[in-house]
Structure 1
Amino acid sequence: MLSWLRRQAERGYERMLRREVSGAPDHVAVIQDGNRRYARKEGGEATDGYRTGAETTEQLLNWCDEFGVQELTLYTFSTENFDRPAEQQESLFDLIEEKLYEFADADRVHDGEVRIRAIGETHMLPERVRDAVRYAESQTEGYDSLHLNIALAYGGRAELLGAARDAAKDVADGTLASEDIDADTVESYLYEGPVRDVDLILRTGGDERTSNFLPWHANGNEAAVFFCTPYWPEFRKLDFLRAIRTYEHRAESWRIARARRALVLVRAMGSAELDEARRVLGQFRDSLPSGEREELDAEEFEADPAAD
C-alpha cells in the first residue's frame, strides 16, 4: 500500500514539474555517481551497481530526446579510475565495451540519429575498448540530432594541460604565434567531442563537487549545477525534471541580473556607452520584476522630449 501511494505521489510531483519547466538546456553533462554505494546498499557486487546504472543511462537518452536536449556528455571512466583494483577495472571495461556495441547497433540510436563520440585519453584504454569506441563512432558519424559524448579516461586538468603543451610546442616550432592565441585557439587543442558549451552539470550520489569534469566547457559558460542524493541507478525522470528546473531558474536569475546592471548604467551614464546599455536593457527588460519595469517606463517617459 505504501509503495503504491509513493508511486502515485511521485507521478503527481512529476506532472507538476512538467508544468513548471518550459524548455531544456542544449548541453547536459552528467556525473553518474553512486553505482558502487547502490550495490552495497542492495547487497550486491560493484559490477551489479554499474550494470543497473547503465540501464539508467539508457533511460536518460530517452528523456533527453523527449525534452529536446541536443548534447549529452557522460562521465563514464575518469583517469582516477585507473587507481581502482584491476578486477574492478576489467569489469568496468567489459560493461563499457558491451554497451558501446549495443548502443551503436540500437534502433533507438539510429532512429533518433544519435552521434556517439568518446572524449579523453582513449589511448590508455584496453585495445578491445578502443575497438568498441571506433565501431560506435563509425556507425553513428553521419548523425547530428543528439550528440552523445562518452568521457573515457577523462580528466579536465589533463585535457587543459595537454592543450597548453600542444600550443606551446607549435609556438616553439613557429607554426603558431603566441599573440594569436585566443579562446578559439585553445578550443582547437582540446579533445574532439563537445560541440557546444555545457549549460547544466548534474551529479547524483550526494557529493557536491564537479570532480574535474569539463572545466573549459562548463566553467567558462557559468553552467548551472544540480546535485541530488539518489545514487545513479536510482535516478528518475522527476530528478531530471528538477535539474532542468534548476537550470531554468538560474537562467532567469542571470537575465534579471543583466537587466539590473544595464538599468544602473542607463541611469549613471551620459556617454557613448549609453546606447549599448539601453540595447541590453531593452533585451532583458521583461525579465525585471513589474515594479522595476514600471519605474523604468516612467523614467523613459520623463526623458522623452516628445512627451512635452
Structure 2
Amino acid sequence: MPPAHPQIPAHVAIIMDGNGRWAKDRGLPRREGHRAGAESVREVMEACKELGVQYLTLYAFSSENWNRPQAEIDALMSLLDRFLDEKAKDLAKQNVRLQAIGQLERLPAKTRGKLNKIIANTAHHDSMTLVLALSYGAREEIVAAAKSLAQDAAAGRLDPETIDNQLFGTRLQTCEMPDPDLLIRTSGELRLSNFLLWQISYAEIVIVKKFWPDFRQGDLFAAVKEYQGRQRRFGAL
C-alpha cells in the first residue's frame, strides 16, 4: 500500500541503474537486463500516478552511453522503440503526458519520429507527466544554456548583469517543470552520473541497493516514505 501522508513529492527523478549487473548475475546478455527493467518502469509509473506525483523523470540513456558497444546501443534503441509502441495507448488511456530531454537529435530517425508523435499526441494530458532523459547529459545541458545566454549578450539582446539563477533556469530543457523533490538511484551506487546537476541542488536523495529490474512499487513507496521523514531546509537552519 502507498504511504499514507499528504507530503507527496511533486517531481520524482530516478537513475535506473544496474540492468547490466542484474543480467550478468544471471548469466544473461546485458540486453536482457534492459528488457527486464521495462517492467520496473511500468510499475513505477503506476505507483507515481497512484500517489499523485506530477512529474516522473527517468534517466533512460545518457550522453555517455553512446560510448558503449554498438550491439548494446542497438539493443537499447530497439527496446526504446518497443517501449514507445507499447506505451502509446497506455499513456493515452491513463491521461499521461510524455516529454523528453537530452540531445534528441542523436537518436535514430525512426525512434525520434515515434517519440515526437507521442509527445504531440499526449501534449494535452494532465494526470501526470513522464519525462524520458534520452541522450542526456547535465553538463552538456548547462553548457548549452550558458552558450544561449552568451549569444544573446553578445548580440545586445541581454544585459549580462541581469543573469541570475531564475533566468539561467529558463534556458534549461526542464524550464517548464519543477525541480525534482526526490532523486532515487538504484543499485546502491553513490554518484549522480551527470544527471540533472542543476535541478537536483536541493532534492532529497534516496539510494536503493536493488538493481533496477528488481525495483517495484513497494520500493517506490518506501523511498517516498523516507522522503516524507526528511526535513527539507533548502540551506536554512
Specify the TM-score bucket, using the shorter chain as the normaliser. Answer: over 0.9
Instruction: Work out whether 1:18 is the aligned partner of 2:3.
Output: yes
Structure-2 residue corresponding to 1:243:
223
Structure richer in helix, relative to its length? 1
Give CA-to-partner distance per residue, 1:38-92, whole Å, 9 cap, x none: 1111221111111110111011110001111110000000001001000100000
Superposed counterparts of 1:109-258, under 5 Å: 109-192=91-174, 195-219=177-201, 222-250=202-230, 252=231, 254=233
Superposed counterparts of 1:30-69, under 5 Å: 30-69=14-53
**Partner SS state of residue 147, structure 1:** strand
Structure-2 residue corresponding to 1:271:
none
The higher radius of gyration belongs to 1
CA change 1:206–1:194 in 2 (3 A) is farther
TM-score, structure 2 length as denominator? 0.94
The 1-side partners of 2:129 and 2:112 are apart by 19
Aligned pairs, number: 237
Task: Indicate if the aligned counterparts of 1:204 and 1:227 stay in contact, CA closer than 8 A.
Answer: yes
Give CA-to-partner distance per residue, 1:116-145, whole Å, 9 cap, x none: 011001111111111121111011011122
RMSD, aligned α-carbons: 1.8
Structure-2 residue corresponding to 1:27:
11
Instruction: Work out whether 1:102 is the aligned partner of 2:86.
Output: yes
- Structure 1: give runs of 5+ residues left out of the alignment: 1-14, 262-308
Task: Indicate if the aligned counterparts of 2:47 and 2:221 stay in contact, CA closer than 8 A.
Answer: no
The 2-side partners of 1:169 and 1:253 are apart by 37
The 1-side partners of 2:164 and 2:87 are apart by 37
Aligned-pair CA distance for 1:177: 1.3
**Partner SS state of residue 215, structure 1:** coil
CA change 1:192–1:253 in 2 (3 A) is closer
**Partner SS state of residue 228, structure 2:** helix
The 1-side partners of 2:82 and 2:115 are apart by 11
- Could you list the runs of 4 or more consecutive aligned residues of structure 1 that deviate by over 6 angstroms after TM superposition? none
Structure-2 residue corresponding to 1:77:
61
Letter matched to residue 163 of structure 2: I
Task: Indicate if the aligned counterparts of 2:10 and 2:181 stay in contact, CA closer than 8 A.
Answer: yes
Aligned-pair CA distance for 1:192: 4.7
The 2-side partners of 1:153 and 1:235 are apart by 23
Task: Indicate if the aligned counterparts of 1:204 and 1:232 stay in contact, CA closer than 8 A.
Answer: yes
The answer to which structure, 1 or 2, has the higher relative contact order (CA under 8 A, 6+ apart) is 2
Task: Indicate if the aligned counterparts of 2:102 and 2:141 stay in contact, CA closer than 8 A.
Answer: yes
Give % identity.
Answer: 36
Task: Indicate if the aligned counterparts of 1:118 and 1:193 stay in contact, CA closer than 8 A.
Answer: no
